[in-house]
Structure 1
């Protein structure tokens, strides 16, 4: 539900929200493998349209979730996103998924 006036109050608007499940994460990670993931490809396309947006990666807690989030962030940087534009936030709402937000 949208609350009138929140955008005017500085509440960020989410343009894109998509989960990447653990089962979808490629075993052999290459640029080609990451770009074959629809959420990554769609996120990059939207970011290219307006590079003023920030990307948020919400990840599951624990060492595994932390490592997964950092690896995804490194891949996004390798694919052309400035590292300062990628934020990491714990709390994806599931142990087996990462949420990408723009």
Structure 2
């Protein structure tokens, strides 16, 4: 326990069956393959920008209906690197005619 008085309430909220239950007949593998390709491409872009995988990485997943989902996971240093990259991209975008 982390000393949080609402631990039980948070745990109950995280047990939403729509977020983790697999439905019969749903092709989760197909959705995961699409997400995996997108995650790999994003990880390659992050690496090309100097963001190492231990700092921030894209992870393939699926939603409850088998749709592709890509999640970003990382430590504070990685998120700060992403913030810096997005700030630079925003400034570059504004300079376009």
Q: Which has the higher helix share?
A: 2
Greater relative contact order (CA < 8 Å, ≥ 6 in sequence)? 1
The TM-score normalised by the length of structure 1 is 0.32
Q: Which has the higher strand share?
A: 1
